[in-house]
Structure 1
Amino acid sequence: MIPRYSTPEMDAVWSDPARFGRWLEVELLATEGHAAIGIVPTEAAEICRAKAPVSDEAFVERIIERERVTDHDVAAFVDTVQAEIDDPAGSWIHYGLTSSDVGDTALCWAMRDACDLLIEASTALLETLVDMARVHRDTVMIGRTHGIHAEPTTFGTKVALWALQVDRDRERLRQAREAVAVMKLSGAVGTYSNIPPSVEAFVGDALGLRPIAATQVVARDRHAQFLYACASVGSTCEMMAVELRHLQRTEVREVQEGFKPGQKGSSAMPHKRNPISAETISGLSRVLRGNLSAGMQDIALWHERDISHSSVERVILPDSSQLAFYVMRRLKRLLDGLVVMPERMRANLDASYGLVFSQPVLLSLVQGGATRDDAYRIVQRNAMRAWDEGLDFRTLLEADDEVDDDVLDDAFDLRRSLANLGQIFAQLDAIVI
């Protein structure tokens, strides 16, 4: 991931020293697991642990240098580790294992840790949304469908629905964590031909990973599920970001992103205050969805394995982890600094001459005995005139001989439109942070 969108927390999960450190721990635990059943001498396993190299940048460089000879990263890693531990103990490193035993177990370990960070970020974002929804529960605004004024709602209701979706994403991340928190040490084609299942269980217990049946590799539908959870996070964040972008348009101006001292919105136009965070989130969500497509294509491998997935995963798994984490963090910052403009929201609601109450008027006429089609015609006729001529909708209705004025007070009562919002907020209150 380019530095612009990387974070220290995810860097710590996906860095080369972290990756080789995981490989090393898998190798050492496998050696100790073999020692526990008498295959590897106990003293040799102890020497391997004691003399194991530290996985730092210098260790990484030694592996890279060796890979120039082997043209195989796991073989280069094993050669480097064995050389540093030295024979005879070092010869027990990688005993009975194949490359995917080490690489896939370590990769699942990394994805599990990435999930933990993503779940933590989703919870923080959820807390912000829940608080904002409660603060603005009664902040009245116009609801829009197709970009056109529809009926009144509140900003808090809008945010509450966002929170419910983020909570669903958090559950998807939890399910993805369960799917990827697995491992395999079952050998070249997954038959345990050269490694006992007890060694796999020993390593799995130590790492907190569940042993699963596999070919030479862990099935890639698990990785695709992880990528889907990341892409879903991105799409949810984009859904909010797109709405916030619309609400920041000059003609609407119901919210604004925060603007810190010294910030510049444009290199050319000093007045500009652009929705840059929301736009960035929208853009990065596209990358997340693209990565999901690549991950789905990684599921179909030849026979018991090939490496067509490997080069793809070196890019998309770290990058999707980083981007999903980044967009949630970026959106939380956006929301924490968001300027909400209730007066502008109310002014926009009133700007359509009262047309937002057309459905209550329609229903009142039906209750009064009109057929629905006749009631629709009466309301639509007055609504179109109000819109075309810039006239007050209620005044026109009061002048219409086919309308009973007595029904209009209730139909135009804003409290009636918002009376049942408690149904939505009850679901919000049921979220367990």
Structure 2
Amino acid sequence: MISRYARPEAAAIWSSQTKYKIWFEIEAHAADAMAELGVIPKLAAETIWEKGRDAVWDSDRIDEIERVTKHDVIAFLTHVSEIVGPEARFLHQGMTSSDVLDTCFAVQLSRATDLLLEDVDLVLAALKRRALEHKMTVCVGRSHGIHAEPITFGLKLAGYYAEFQRAKERLAMAKFEIATCAISGAVGTFANVDPRVEQHVADKMGLAVEPVSTQVIPRDRHAAYFAALGVVASSVERLATEIRHLQRTEVLEAEEPFDPGQKGSSAMPHKRNPILTENLTGLARLVRSAVVPAMENVALWHERDISHSSVERGIGPDATIHLDFALRRLAGVIERFNIYPDNMAKNLDKLGGLVFSQRVMLALTHKDVSREDAYAAVQGNAMKVWRGEGRFLDFLKADPVVSKALTETELEELFDLGYHTKNVDVIFQRVFGEQG
């Protein structure tokens, strides 16, 4: 975790104190269930809660014990016994370390996903507001980075809104899949712990029971979870990259916010660099870097090994914290970024009307001109415009093939921006419903 890119709310989920609190709750809830089943004394379960519920776990002490035991869960349980007293011997009956670790990891990932879902809602709200604001702000659409045909800026943003709606669905499904509990013992057979204990812990921790856990929860769940985070991060990067392209000096159709007192360069006082969206691009790479290791964690040996452990201690906090930060930053950029309709209009006309070429070609085909001849006539005149020799409409009016098929009035009517925005309402209704 890089503290520079960590919000306190997200970082807190992965703190040692939070982890130990969850570990204790798992152990104590298991003790409650065992007490109800008559496996351990009810008074012992009550004492465990009474002395441990509000305990502040001493990370330094646990680390000290672990340096001897070389086992983190044993070190924790030893520290619990120092606080709870003799009744601590009734903890962890029939359980294995992975029962605690995997269930805790599920809780932490679930809580982190709740934050991510809140973040996506902020992104969606900002996108919706700006999309409606610029619903009919016409700009040039680009394919391969080259001017194609007119679009509206609001329609661009509506597309991102739909994408982040899908991101929200992916995150919700990822949480559903990752939120499972395993309290099944050494190889998942419940030989020394009743399955009802697992169900009780799952209910108390807000999880589902894992149908078949070996000694661990199967890692295909985690692979799918981190893959979902990677896809969401890629959506963040796609929008960030769009803003970066639109902020280039030669384009300047949109620009991320630049605050009073902000400096763009240590050497060049005039610079207004897209540092926020560049940062988002980098954070997306960090989040995606968790995907392949998570995939490689799936193939554990037999009923388990711990080759996944060191990986997950890194990617769990890093991927969720960085994505949380990225989504919050993206929401802020969308909410405040500058949009320049005048520059959009200038850029739209930069190629002298070439953005209407397809409509001219299609109009010719409706005047008994073959598609091949229509394409050749339109392209020939378009190339003159590319060479800077004049404007497209003027060349078309002077072209014998074109002028024979279309009158000047008919040609002029083809150069109508409204033609390209006539279905924007339909698309917005698809995306935003009646509010579109």
Contact 2:185/2:192 (<8 A) preserved: yes
Q: Deviations over 1:239-283 (max 9, x none)?
A: 001110000001001111111111100000000000001100111
Regions of 4+ moved over 6 Å: none
Aligned residue identity for 1:209: L
Corresponding position: 1:410 with 2:413: yes
Deviation of 1:420 after TM superposition, in Å, equals 1.2
Corresponding position: 1:51 with 2:54: no
Corresponding position: 1:11 with 2:11: yes
Q: 1:395 & 1:361 partners in 2: Cα distance?
A: 13
User: Mean Cα displacement is larger for which, 178-187 or 381-390?
Assistant: 381-390
Deviation of 1:430 after TM superposition, in Å, equals 3.6
TM-score by length of 1: 0.97
Structural mapping, 1:132-147, within 5 Å: 132-147=130-145
Q: Deviations over 1:138-168 (max 9, x none)?
A: 0110001111100000100000000100000
Contact 1:139/1:155 (<8 A) preserved: yes
Structural mapping, 1:223-372, within 5 Å: 223-372=222-371
Alignment match of 1:122 (pick from 120, 123, 145): 120
Aligned residue identity for 2:426: Q
In the alignment, which residue of structure 2 is the partner of 1:373?
372
Contact 1:258/1:334 (<8 A) preserved: yes
Aligned residue identity for 1:67: E
Q: 2:412 & 2:422 partners in 1: Cα distance?
A: 15
Q: 1:49 & 1:401 partners in 2: Cα distance?
A: 92
Contact 1:256/1:340 (<8 A) preserved: yes
Contact 2:10/2:112 (<8 A) preserved: yes
Q: 1:237 & 1:299 partners in 2: Cα distance?
A: 27
Q: 2:5 & 2:376 partners in 1: Cα distance?
A: 55
Deviation of 1:407 after TM superposition, in Å, equals 2.9
In the alignment, which residue of structure 1 is the partner of 2:157?
159
Aligned residue identity for 1:366: T
Deviation of 1:390 after TM superposition, in Å, equals 3.8
Deviation of 1:428 after TM superposition, in Å, equals 1.6
Q: Deviations over 1:352-400 (max 9, x none)?
A: 1000000000000001110000000000000001121341100110111
Q: 2:132 & 2:295 partners in 1: Cα distance?
A: 39
Q: 1:55 & 1:277 partners in 2: Cα distance?
A: 41
Which stretches in structure 2 are left out of the alignment for 5+ residues?
A: none
Shift of the 333–390 alpha-carbon distance from structure 1 to 2, 3 Å rule, reads: farther
Aligned residue identity for 1:52: G
Deviation of 1:55 after TM superposition, in Å, equals 5.1
Aligned residue identity for 1:41: P
Deviation of 1:180 after TM superposition, in Å, equals 1.1
**3-state DSSP class of the match of 1:299?**
coil
Contact 2:35/2:42 (<8 A) preserved: yes
User: Mean Cα displacement is larger for which, 423-432 or 72-81?
Assistant: 423-432
Q: 1:205 & 1:3 partners in 2: Cα distance?
A: 33
**3-state DSSP class of the match of 1:150?**
strand
Deviation of 1:181 after TM superposition, in Å, equals 1.2
Q: 2:12 & 2:55 partners in 1: Cα distance?
A: 13
Aligned residue identity for 2:163: Q
Contact 1:53/1:84 (<8 A) preserved: no
Alignment match of 2:422 (pick from 419, 422, 430): 419
Corresponding position: 1:216 with 2:215: yes
Aligned residue identity for 1:407: E
Q: 2:235 & 2:434 partners in 1: Cα distance?
A: 17
Q: 1:391 & 1:369 partners in 2: Cα distance?
A: 27
In the alignment, which residue of structure 1 is the partner of 2:104?
106
Q: 1:183 & 1:277 partners in 2: Cα distance?
A: 39
Aligned residue identity for 1:186: S
**3-state DSSP class of the match of 2:149?**
strand
Q: 2:218 & 2:124 partners in 1: Cα distance?
A: 32
Deviation of 1:19 after TM superposition, in Å, equals 0.6
Contact 2:393/2:412 (<8 A) preserved: no
Which stretches in structure 1 are left out of the alignment for 5+ residues?
A: none
Contact 2:186/2:215 (<8 A) preserved: yes
Aligned residue identity for 2:119: A
Aligned residue identity for 2:399: D
Structural mapping, 1:385-396, within 5 Å: 385-396=384-395
Q: Deviations over 1:186-205 (max 9, x none)?
A: 00000000000011111111
Contact 1:190/1:215 (<8 A) preserved: yes
Corresponding position: 1:181 with 2:179: yes
Q: Percent identity?
A: 44
Deviation of 1:232 after TM superposition, in Å, equals 1.3
Q: 1:78 & 1:416 partners in 2: Cα distance?
A: 71
Contact 2:62/2:75 (<8 A) preserved: yes
Q: Deviations over 1:331-362 (max 9, x none)?
A: 11111120100000000001110000000000
In the alignment, which residue of structure 2 is the partner of 1:150?
148
Q: 1:430 & 1:195 partners in 2: Cα distance?
A: 52
**3-state DSSP class of the match of 1:143?**
strand
Contact 1:361/1:407 (<8 A) preserved: no
